[in-house]
Amino acid sequence: MSLDYLWTGFAVALTPTNLLYSLLGCFLGTLIGALPAIGPINGIALILPIAYTMKMPPESCMILLAAIYYGAEYGGRITSILINVPGDAGAVMTAMDGFPLAKQGRGAEALTMSALSSFVGGILAVVGLTFFAPLLGLFAVKFGPAEYVALMVFAFATLASMVGAEPVKTLIGCLIGLLLTTIGLDPTSGAYRFTFDQPELHDGIEFIIIVIGLFSISEILLMLEHKFAGTLKPIPIGKGFPSWADIKACWWPTIRSSVSGFIIGVLPGTGASVASAVAYTTEKRLLDKGTFGKGDMRGLAAPEAANNAAAGGAFVPMLTLGVPGSGTTAVMLGALLLYNIQPGPQLFTEKPELAGGLIASMYIGNIMLLIMNIPMVRLFVKMLQVPNTWLIPTILLLSILGVYTAYSSVTSVLMMIAIGVMGWALRKQGFDMAPIILGFVLGKVLETNLRNALALSGGEVSILFQSTISNSLWVMAVLIVILPWWLARRSRREAIDARDHP
């Protein structure tokens, strides 16, 4: 594909008006991402009517909305790292090592590293979008239900890396997540399951409600418990820039996670939450020596790179096929249709100012976000100096407002609180929240596609093994489980042989 459209796009994106829209979108996106439960979808849905009524040109509107999208992916890390409250779905895995780093007094370092990793992931995604969009669009079309089943099994295989010293608790957590996905409308038959005749449960439990409950509410309860016990200690701020040793250690995890995040983002229906989960568990499988989950900078960099790369990847099917790669790009597709513009391969030749302007603005926006976010790290970490008597009710208020704004339902708020109490009780017993979240995220995609695949084949399981893509994923899933066990066994055998035959 010729890159003439891109040079046209830079001419559009570098106009003073569109540079201002990029800057405004990055700023608003960062704020939206930092607020619990709001997320890029709701942020874009709020801004779109305003942008349209202002009679903005379509390329300017898309530049603004795209900047809000990837700005929110940056912003979601702020509260995730500092107070263990993910701003959006993609920031859930960031909290796994981000919050422990903050408790060690390395919150400023963690924020800086997340900004650097997000920048690398975002830029690599835009490069992939620039050079491989049509090819990847055709690749995404080849993913049917069987391929998605294999992909989800591969993702579950990476979950084996999180077993640690208490495999039973990890398994129970994963099963809890899977059980929560069964509540609501059956994706195939249309029957209601485990709703107890409550209309509020007909659509199931929303992901944001579970995330805010398990992380925000349970964290508030733990903070209150320690406060009443007199054991709640203030978190130090620490220095602002990670060491070069940390940056060097995070380089390859960031690159690997950017590539995997971009590819997963290209696939419709996956998104940043799946991409960051796969990246985190994969890097944990490859690198962990007991430090992941306790404040390992690599465990922070991997999901941050992946979720920003996934955001860029989601534009591929939207622009080349007219198929949204995520909920956020679905709203942006609606924005294009408002302007009577139909996305597709012809968009790059018939509307180069739109396609090129959007892609060029993503290069510019990622640079803006990096320049904007690193100097603001010291401002963000001031949050840690807020007295707990103010911080705890503020977190609670933001959580309640976020969920109520997203779903306009008191029942959703009560459900969030109930899940938070459950999360607090589980954390008291030593359970990790990550397997629950992963079970919920992956389980919903797995069930829907497994049911669809079996419906297409008339119940024949062989459909899951009929394509090269699915078979490759099955092999990778087996290898990621078996290979570390085999290598560890071989190392023990060699150690015994060396001891017996010096």
Write the pLDDT tens digit of every residue in 317-340.
888 877 776 777 778 888 888 888
Q: Is the pLDDT of residue 117 over 90?
A: yes
CA distances from 143 to 99, 224, 234, 268, 276 (A): 36, 47, 49, 9, 20
Strand, coil or helix: what is 48? Answer: helix
| Residues sharing a CB contact under 8 Å with residue 288, sequence separation 6 or more, in sequence order | 161, 296, 299
Most confident of 315-324, 379-388, 458-467: 458-467
Pairwise CA distance, residues 474 & 195, whole Å: 34
| pLDDT bracket for residue 233 (50, 70, 90) | low
More confident of the two residues 278 and 200: 278
Q: What are phi and psi of 153, to 5 degrees?
A: -65, -40
Quick one: pLDDT at residue 500? 65
Q: What pLDDT does 151 receive?
A: 83
Question: Is residue 20 over pLDDT 90?
Answer: yes
Q: Is the pLDDT of residue 481 over 60?
A: yes
Residue 298's pLDDT is what? 92
Residues 194-220 have a mean pLDDT of: 81
Average pLDDT over residues 361-372: 91
Per-domain residue ranges for the chain?
4-500
Beta carbons within 10 angstroms of residue 104's beta carbon: 15
> What is the average pLDDT across 145-160?
80
Q: Which pLDDT score, from 0 to 100, does residue 340 have?
A: 83
- pLDDT category of residue 7 using cuts at 50, 70 and 90: confident
Residues with Cβ within 8 Å of 379's Cβ and at least 6 positions away in sequence, in order, are none
Residue 251 clears pLDDT 80, i.e. is over it: yes
3-state secondary structure of 90: helix
What pLDDT score does 297 carry?
92
Position 121 confidence tier, pLDDT thresholds 50, 70, 90: very high
**pLDDT attached to residue 123:** 93
Select the highest-mean-pLDDT range: 157-171, 324-338, 351-365. Answer: 351-365
Residue 259: the pLDDT is: 92
Provide the token pair at 478: 């087996």
Distance between CA atoms of residues 188 and 172, nearest Å? 26
| pLDDT value at residue 287 | 82
Helix residue spans in 267-351 (DSSP H)? 272-287, 297-313, 315-321, 327-338, 347-350
Alpha-carbon span 157 to 147, nearest angstrom:
15
pLDDT at 162 over 60: no
Residue 465 has pLDDT above 60, yes or no: yes
Place of tokens 């820039």: 241
CA 358 distance to own-chain centroid: 22
> Tell me, what's the pLDDT at 129?
86
Give the pairing of strands 192-193 and 184-185: antiparallel
Buried b (16+ CB within 10 A) or exposed e, 171-184: ebbbebbbebbebb
Residues with Cβ < 8 Å from 273, sequence gap 6 or more?
89, 90, 92, 207, 307, 441
Q: What per-residue confidence (pLDDT) applies to 2? A: 61
Predicted local distance difference test score (pLDDT) of residue 209: 85
Do residues 28 and 63 lie in contact, with contact meaning Cβ atoms separated by under 8 Å?
A: no
Q: Per-residue pLDDT averaged across 447-473, rounded?
A: 85
- How do the residues of the chain divide into helix, strand and coil, expressed in percent and rounded to 5? 75, 0, 20
Give the pLDDT of residue 276. 87
Mean pLDDT of 206-223: 83
Mapping DSSP onto H, E and C, the string for 327-379 reads HHHHHHHHHHHHCCCCCCCCHHHHCHHHHHHHHHHHHHHHHHHHHHHCCCHHH
Q: What is the pLDDT of residue 235?
A: 65
pLDDT over 80 at 67, yes or no: yes
Rounded distance between C-alpha atoms, residue 361 and residue 106, angstroms:
32
Which CA distances in Å does 461 have to 13, 138, 448, 454, 464?
50, 26, 15, 7, 6
Give the span between the Cα atoms of 336 and 70, in whole angstroms. 18
* Residue 365 scores a pLDDT above 80: yes
Model confidence at 192: pLDDT above 90: no
Q: Which pLDDT score, from 0 to 100, does residue 157 have? A: 77
Q: What does pLDDT average to over the chain? A: 82
Question: 391 vs 214, 221, 230, 236, 350, CA distance in Å?
Answer: 18, 13, 16, 15, 52
pLDDT on residue 159:
66
Strand partners, 192: 185
268 or 248, higher pLDDT: 248
pTM for the whole structure: 0.79
Q: Among all chains, which residue has been given the structure tokens 């202002």?
A: 54
Q: What is the pLDDT of residues 390-442, one digit of tens each?
A: 777 887 887 888 788 777 788 888 888 999 999 899 988 888 777 888 788 77
Report the interhelical angle of 410-428 vs 218-229 (nearest 10°).
60
